[in-house]
Structure 1
Amino acid sequence: MTARRVERWDVYELRLTGPSAGNPYRDVVFGADFRHRHRVVPVDGFYDGCHDGRGLYRVRFMPDRPGPWTYTTRSDAPELDGHSGEFTCVAAVPGNHGPVRVAGPRRFRYADGTPYEPFGTTCYHWTHDENEELEERTLRTLAASPFNKVRMCLLPTRAMNPPRLPFPGRTPGALDTARFDPAFFAHFERRVRDLRDLGIEADIILFHPYDEGHWGVDNMTREEDLSLVRHTLARLAAYRNVWWSIANEYDFNTAKTVEDWDHIGRFVQRHDPYQHPRSIHNGTRMYEYERIYDFTKPWTTHQSIQHWDAARTPRWLAACPKPVVLDEIGYEGKLGRRWGNLTGRALVRQFWHGVSAGGYVGHGECYPEQDPDHAAWISRGGRLHGDSAPRIAFLRRLREEGPEDTYVYFGDRRHAHRDIDLPDIGAPWRLDLIDTWDMTVTPLPGVHRGRARVPLDRRPDLALRLRRAT
């Protein structure tokens, strides 16, 4: 029985039974057209396996306008074609702001106009072991954290041996990539919904180079790639908290070219009815070179960058007027790799460099020896052990209190004072001195115009907040 009333930006799902013979994932075309007044939104459906001897088909839709909607199914299978119905989209409840949209060259907003600033973290494979206790612990940790976006992978790595994979089969190199495992996707999408209910965006990484030919998922054919993408979009795009990362460290995958990635990106752009945020993430030999993607390409909505220096954000903004999200800048931890042994203070400094330069920075943590499951947060989730998360929470609170405030960050330098040229806005400024590590805000006396001398007392990790005095 399908719902007759659906909340705005929630999911309407239609379930039908149909053919199960052959390979319905490839052989059956199924979808629906949803109508509101004169607007028609075509949506792909998907086959979800055989139940009680019949094939189960689903189509999911996220209505974005209140009022009556109708639908009609379309399929080359007669028993799935021509089904029609209607439902009413009702107002969103508090906390449901809709999907995130790009709002200019530096900003994001939810669909209802509420500002959104990504304070992201990375948990690449927190869903893949299907360890319920560990996953619930991860969700509890996220609920108490400042993070409102999680980067998570769809495909396994070479080193993993998960109970299920997106494709049927358990033999490396012999997965049935012409079909999908409904149980894997049901578990994965349940966790996407859990993140949605916490107000957290799921930045889903579709491809990566870490299989190294083991399972055979990093060197599939274009047809296999697009089949996986189409199925994933049909299942997940109706969830309002989804982002698409076409690949993580795309340039480390030697089986694909930039043209291949562009083809996949354009495919996502065409087949996502809701136009969720889309990007692609570069690799880098830390401190040796960078290979930033050409984000001027129309299919990208924002810049997802791996780099060790957030202070370069203005350069990327100048090259491409799309929001800069440094999803990977290095991780707090004690690993033997340079990308995994930043101090908490070093990571917090990068967050402040990014914010003061007009960008956003992502978090990650690697302290497996401190976790009872020996789980590094970036790979399996669990608990946070580092020093950076509370300071990132402090920064997020400041940003939400005054999204239009301006910041000047002084970093690790120990100045006695700094002379700051204040923007001429026709009104004076109030200045606050922020200790980004001790998490304090100290108002400086008076109001200021022109040039202001800011006493810093030779302390590092200070920032200056500029607020209109009026």
Structure 2
Amino acid sequence: MKRNALNTVYAAITFLLVSLAMPHSVLAINRVDYQEGAVAGRQWEVLDIAFATATAPQQANEIEIAADFTGPDGTEIAVDGFDDGDGRFVIRFTPTKPGSWTFNVRSSVAALDGKQGSLSVQPAGQDRKGGVVIAKDSPTRFEYENGERYYPIAFECDWLFALDAENPDDIPQTRRFVDTLAENGFNQVVMNVFAYDVNWPKDDRLVKEFDYGSPDVYPFGGHNENPDHSRLNIEYFQRLDRVIDYLDQKGIVAHLMIYVWNKNVNWPEADSQADNRYFDYVVRRYQAFPNMVWDISKEALGYGHNDVNYISHRIDRLRKADAYRRLVTVHDYAYCRRFPEKVDFVSVQLWLSELYSVMRDVVKNIPGKPILNIEHGGYERGPYVVFTGNYTSPEVCLERAYQCVFAGTFPTHYWQGAAWNVIIPDIKTLPADEQPRLDYYRHMRSFVDRYRVDELVAGDRKANAGFCLHDNADTLIYYIPKECDFIGVRLPSERRGETMTATWFDPYTGEYSKPENHKITQWPSLKVPAGDGLRILVLNLDTP
């Protein structure tokens, strides 16, 4: 429809006080209807400004709406709005600074075009840190916009969107599951916008209650088996809002994979009008969430759906649309290695047995980027066999996660009871011997935060076994493999005759030993505490 025709059709648009489709109590988003006066907001909290109109659904796709925001120090952010169904259009905005903001609306509809408003933004609350960005003082680390460090320990849950997708009123299953992740130190969830079903055989023992494959929801019109790609299912995204928002409330980053090619999704043709409409809508709707990082596609080049040009063009399209410049990655090491300049951080899927050395090679091959091992081949066993990978022991999975940590990279954990179509939302109801050892990662969280390990130097052995992180001064931390009974450390010759303090950390219990003092000799050696698994040694060289 031509612009003039749209203007004629919508000349009588009025701004109405409307309630949005889902109960406001489910969302932390501040939702207001457009008004001429100042709207109250808070730094790094999501604000929806809604414009209501009477319009036919098929015409809504053709309406353009955006707003130009100007902050107290002259900061300018141009944000595209989106159709929220039933004649509502939303400008979703997150103020990046406190103070007075103004905005001007741009629209293809005359009654909307030129509307103005203002925001009175209060400073961030104590628990609000802003979005995740690359650390200013190190290109291989992350931090929040407020300058606090961010150390990701990720958990993959592809079907998180599905737990309450058929519940119009609430998200009890989602809250239950996400709360458990938060309690155990996970601060990033790798998830799909949508996935349909797995293409491998399902365990005969799997009960329907925990199988979220073939969901009766779909982000497009129709159904996955009989799609109508010419329109989007707005209600689907309204319900996905609740998931992203709750992750944000719990301080968990949504590592959102916009596509997935091997989960039987009936996608529109690549780069078609329908494909672009879907992609743009996802970016417009979710860019304002401070806990958002983008991933173009799970295993982006693994299934012949497209080529590197498509992925590169998707990244370009995303960066053009994303007003907040959220971080972007691609779940494909080959792509990241070939086009490192296109991504903000690298996602690799590497299963090889000697994982530490493999991850150190990645660091060397793609210098100056944070590295996330998004799949290290460890899929902790659960009550049902879903996908075994190479390693299913929770202890071996933990060892591999720590090898990522000591390589100067970041880990992701999989549990077969939650990674794919099978999700057991209330883990605590399982028998103790069937529950995943998420407590191991709670201890890891405590460890990496206590010693700020992402700020330490990786890659120098400084011992005759194991792996070392150090601060180039007086602190050295060693990963001691379970095979070791003794560890010989290698310290500077000028420190001989001084003392060092040794503290042992048990990564399975989270307990620290009583510190012990040792004299630094030419070849200092320490006995590893008894036990069947890896140990971590913290050495502090005493200042003379």
Q: Same fold (TM over 0.5)?
A: yes
Moved more, 251-260 or 55-64: 251-260
Q: Distance in 1 between matches of 2:494 and 2:114?
A: 63
Moved more, 443-452 or 401-410: 443-452
Which residue of 2 is the match for residue 161 of structure 1?
A: 214
Moved more, 63-72 or 222-231: 222-231
Which residue of 2 is the match for residue 331 of structure 1?
A: 379
Q: Which residues of structure 1 form unaligned runs of 5+?
A: 283-289, 368-374
TM-score of the superposed pair, with normalisation by structure 1 = 0.87
**Does the alignment pair 1:96 with 2:145?**
no
The AA in structure 1 aligned to 2:47 is Y
The AA in structure 1 aligned to 2:350 is H
1:157 to 1:344, Cα distance in 2 relative to 1, 3 A: same
Equivalent residue runs for 1:220-369 within 5 Å: 220-282=270-332, 291=334, 293-294=336-337, 296-309=339-352, 310-311=355-356, 312-320=358-366, 321-329=368-376, 330-333=378-381, 335=385, 337-339=387-389, 342-367=392-417
Q: Which residues of structure 2 form unaligned runs of 5+?
A: 1-31, 199-212, 428-433, 457-468, 470-476
Q: 2:442 aligns with which of 393, 405, 409?
A: 393
Asked if structure 1 preserves the Cα contact closer than 8 Å seen for 2:349 and 2:373, the reply is yes
Q: 2:481 aligns with which of 411, 418, 432?
A: 411
Following superposition, the deviation at residue 428 of structure 1 comes to 7.9
Deviations 1:278-305 (A, max 9, x none): 10113xxxxxxx7463264323110111
Asked if structure 2 preserves the Cα contact closer than 8 Å seen for 1:304 and 1:324, the reply is yes
1:263 to 1:457, Cα distance in 2 relative to 1, 3 A: same
3-state DSSP of counterpart to 1:168:
strand
1:433 to 1:17, Cα distance in 2 relative to 1, 3 A: same
Q: Distance in 2 between matches of 1:448 and 1:71?
A: 65
**Does the alignment pair 1:453 with 2:525?**
yes
Equivalent residue runs for 1:362-377 within 5 Å: 362-367=412-417
1:170 to 1:416, Cα distance in 2 relative to 1, 3 A: same
1:171 to 1:40, Cα distance in 2 relative to 1, 3 A: closer
Q: 2:189 aligns with which of 150, 153, 167?
A: 150
The AA in structure 2 aligned to 1:355 is V
Which residue of 2 is the match for residue 21 of structure 1?
A: 56
Asked if structure 2 preserves the Cα contact closer than 8 Å seen for 1:430 and 1:448, the reply is no
1:423 to 1:382, Cα distance in 2 relative to 1, 3 A: farther
Asked if structure 2 preserves the Cα contact closer than 8 Å seen for 1:433 and 1:444, the reply is no
Which residue of 1 is the match for residue 91 of structure 2?
A: 59
Q: Distance in 2 between matches of 1:273 and 1:260?
A: 22
**Does the alignment pair 1:42 with 2:78?**
yes
Deviations 1:29-54 (A, max 9, x none): 1111001243321111011112xxxx
Q: Distance in 2 between matches of 1:78 and 1:423?
A: 77
Asked if structure 1 preserves the Cα contact closer than 8 Å seen for 2:337 and 2:365, the reply is no
**Does the alignment pair 1:182 with 2:234?**
yes
1:468 to 1:267, Cα distance in 2 relative to 1, 3 A: farther
1:446 to 1:128, Cα distance in 2 relative to 1, 3 A: same
1:274 to 1:126, Cα distance in 2 relative to 1, 3 A: same
Q: Distance in 2 between matches of 1:428 and 1:80?
A: 73
Deviations 1:38-91 (A, max 9, x none): 3321111011112xxxx2100111111111100001011112211101012211
Q: Distance in 1 between matches of 2:541 and 2:435?
A: 35
Q: Distance in 2 between matches of 1:265 and 1:339?
A: 30
Deviations 1:248-297 (A, max 9, x none): 01122312111101111121122111111210113xxxxxxx74632643
TM-score of the superposed pair, with normalisation by structure 2 = 0.76
The AA in structure 1 aligned to 2:51 is L
- Aligned residues, how many? 449
Q: 2:504 aligns with which of 433, 441, 449?
A: 433
3-state DSSP of counterpart to 1:349:
helix
Q: 1:110 aligns with which of 144, 154, 158?
A: 144
Q: 1:193 aligns with which of 223, 245, 252?
A: 245
Asked if structure 1 preserves the Cα contact closer than 8 Å seen for 2:130 and 2:146, the reply is yes
Asked if structure 2 preserves the Cα contact closer than 8 Å seen for 1:155 and 1:217, the reply is no
The AA in structure 1 aligned to 2:326 is H
Give 1 or 2 for the bigger CA radius of gyration: 2
Which residue of 2 is the match for residue 462 of structure 1?
A: 535
Deviations 1:306-361 (A, max 9, x none): 11244122211112120111121221015374427510011110111111110111
1:293 to 1:142, Cα distance in 2 relative to 1, 3 A: same
